[in-house]
Structure 1
Amino acid sequence: MLPTTEVAALDRLASLKKSERMPVIFLGHGSPMNAIGDNEYRRSWQALGAEFGSKLPRPQLILCISAHWLTEGWWLTGMDQPKTIHDFGGFPQELFDQQYPAPGDPAAAQIISQLVRQRASAPLGLDRGGWGLDHGAWSVLKPMFPKADIPVIQLSMDYGRAPEEHYALAKQIKALRDRGVLIVASGNIVHNLRQMQRGATGSQAYDWALEFDQTIGGYLQQGNLDALQNFQKLGQVAKMAHPTHDHYLPLLYAAGAVDVREPMRFFNTSFQGGSISMRSVVWG
């Protein structure tokens, strides 16, 4: 049971009513081109989005954690209309023309910040206009919810913090799932751009990429979620899978927001370029 102070904070989310518990999603987003091409990944995101409002309750708010917003401290987007950020280069103009005009929710961001402040050692700051929705967010949300009519708040990641601190913070946002908040974490279980082979098929991957992907997939399947925060103990295979671990950290935010015994399923279990795992997970 939540402490009384936390219940009160949640109740101040006037626009978010108590609901059936929302799922948690971790999406391997891979190349930004997945957002506009006719490919298996985009089609799977479209199919998943279609489940909300039919098989699954429709979200009242989306809280997105992307590999592409790294900060000092933790921040929430707190503007009415977050801008679409094209944080990449060398791609066709069609990709730069993409917009995702989903509204923000400054009031909800303020309350979420207050809720986490009660328990986290470092409170969440509110970004009033410097950021927006980067491609780790909009490239997956646009296929899922093309009408852009569900408010989106993005949560940054303090890259200077240890993995266990990210995992601990994620546990603080779990209660939002009972207020119609869909938590979407966007990264990749294996992400090594330096080793990409452009001609590789989805079934082709380096041995170290397969090993890391299968090890982490095993933890997820077994419900051994606490082990995810110790990924660096896997040694050289972890270093190859993540020369920098910005794309792994969103997985910790998803895993921290679920219960060990919650049902889960994998999808998009293939690779891009031999060194990017697209493995994705839905819990609940």
Structure 2
Amino acid sequence: MSKMPMVFVGHGSPMNAIEDNQYTRNWREIAKKIPKPESIISISAHWYTKGTRIMNEENPKTIYDMYGFPKELYEILYNSPGNPKLAEHTKSLITTPNIFDNTWGIDHGTWSVLVHMYPERDIPVFQISIDATAPPEVHFKIGKELKSLRHQGVLLFGTGNIVHNLLLIDWGRQDNGFDWAHEFDDFIQENIENKKHENVINYISLGENAKLSVPTPEHFYPILYILGATDGEDKISIFNKGYTMGSLSMTSYLFV
């Protein structure tokens, strides 16, 4: 089977689930550009756990892991089936300790994007959690271990934000970023494009810009899984290069 592309999406606000904007339109376009996956495995910033956890339910639930948003958001049901057989195989590929865990579900990091990409909800989806106790190198290594799934019709889907600092949000800056956000986002982009993955893994070396852009790592780590699963032949496209409220970058990557 030919190799499936991969996507890292800057998902931004949950409101994107119900909005029609440049970001959501591009998500829809990306889905048209790539082959329809047989299954989707999502690594979402919003499932951040001790150790690696994998869903293996037949019908994972929709999780509303956000507060104070319009009622319409809490009525979205992303009721795609799960894929227990693929979950079992995925578990066997990951060499670091991992367990099945169905206490979570499909969270807004995943469904706020997939409602636009695959609104039919007919593709099996499950999530792998991000191990909060593991260093960046381990997330990259897990990505490497998942690489073979690309030849089995699986879309590896990372969802977070390269720059994500909610404490420094400036509501007056709807469409532009702080200088430090641009600098960090550009540094990561340059190293992804040049396939210098060690610099992305060692993002903290950027000092103050890294601390401001990645005050906690859960929104950054999903890109490491995707980079781990790349090969030398992948062509990289950047889409949704942009910023919102100063301290969030929406920059997204397609690997084909």
Query: Which residue does 1:12 correspond to in 2?
Result: none
Q: Give CA-to-partner distance per residue, 1:186-222, whole Å, 9 cap, x none.
A: 01110011111112132x2111111101111110111
Which residue, out of 114, 119, 136, partners 1:141?
114
Q: Give CA-to-partner distance per residue, 1:23-53, whole Å, 9 cap, x none.
A: 01000000000111111111111111223xx
Query: Which residue does 1:46 correspond to in 2?
Result: 28
Query: Which residue does 1:8 correspond to in 2?
Result: none
Aligned equivalents of 2:190, 2:32: Cα separation in 1 = 28
Query: Which residue does 1:35 correspond to in 2?
Result: 17
Which residue, out of 203, 228, 236, partners 1:264?
236
Q: CA deviation at 1:123?
A: 3.2
One-letter amino acid of the counterpart of residue 119, structure 2: P
The total of aligned residue pairs comes to 256
Unaligned runs of 5+ in 2: none
Q: Give CA-to-partner distance per residue, 1:109-152, whole Å, 9 cap, x none.
A: 11211232xxx2x233112x311101111111111000000000
Give the CA RMSD over aligned residues: 1.0
Aligned equivalents of 1:143, 1:66: Cα separation in 2 = 16
One-letter amino acid of the counterpart of residue 196, structure 2: N
Secondary structure of the equivalent of 1:157? Answer: strand
Query: Which residue does 2:168 correspond to in 1?
Result: 195
Query: Which residue does 1:9 correspond to in 2?
Result: none
Q: Does 1:88 find its partner at 2:70?
A: no
Aligned equivalents of 2:6, 2:199: Cα separation in 1 = 18
Query: Which residue does 1:123 correspond to in 2?
Result: 97
Which residue, out of 43, 56, 59, partners 2:37?
59
Query: Which residue does 1:103 correspond to in 2?
Result: 81
Please report the TM-score for the alignment, with normalisation by the length of structure 2: 0.97
Q: CA deviation at 1:59?
A: 0.7
Q: Does 1:251 find its partner at 2:223?
A: yes
Aligned equivalents of 2:207, 2:232: Cα separation in 1 = 25
Query: Which residue does 1:11 correspond to in 2?
Result: none
Q: CA deviation at 1:261?
A: 4.0
Q: Give CA-to-partner distance per residue, 1:44-87, whole Å, 9 cap, x none.
A: 11111223xxxx32211101000000111111111011111010
Q: Give CA-to-partner distance per residue, 1:257-276, whole Å, 9 cap, x none.
A: 10144211000001010110
Aligned equivalents of 1:234, 1:194: Cα separation in 2 = 20
Aligned equivalents of 1:257, 1:193: Cα separation in 2 = 29
One-letter amino acid of the counterpart of residue 275, structure 1: S
Q: Does 1:231 find its partner at 2:231?
A: no
Secondary structure of the equivalent of 1:246? Answer: helix
Unaligned runs of 5+ in 1: 1-18
Secondary structure of the equivalent of 1:226? Answer: helix
4+ long deviations beyond 2 Å: none
Aligned equivalents of 1:201, 1:256: Cα separation in 2 = 32
Query: Which residue does 1:5 correspond to in 2?
Result: none
Aligned equivalents of 2:115, 2:226: Cα separation in 1 = 20
Aligned equivalents of 1:173, 1:114: Cα separation in 2 = 10
Aligned equivalents of 2:245, 2:19: Cα separation in 1 = 16
Identity level (%): 43
Please report the TM-score for the alignment, with normalisation by the length of structure 1: 0.88
Which structure has the larger Rg? 1
Secondary structure of the equivalent of 1:132? Answer: coil
One-letter amino acid of the counterpart of residue 189, structure 2: G
Aligned equivalents of 1:72, 1:233: Cα separation in 2 = 25
Which residue, out of 47, 50, 68, partners 1:72?
50
Q: Give CA-to-partner distance per residue, 1:7-28, whole Å, 9 cap, x none.
A: xxxxxxxxxxxx2100010000
Aligned equivalents of 1:88, 1:58: Cα separation in 2 = 29
Which residue, out of 160, 183, 186, partners 2:156?
183
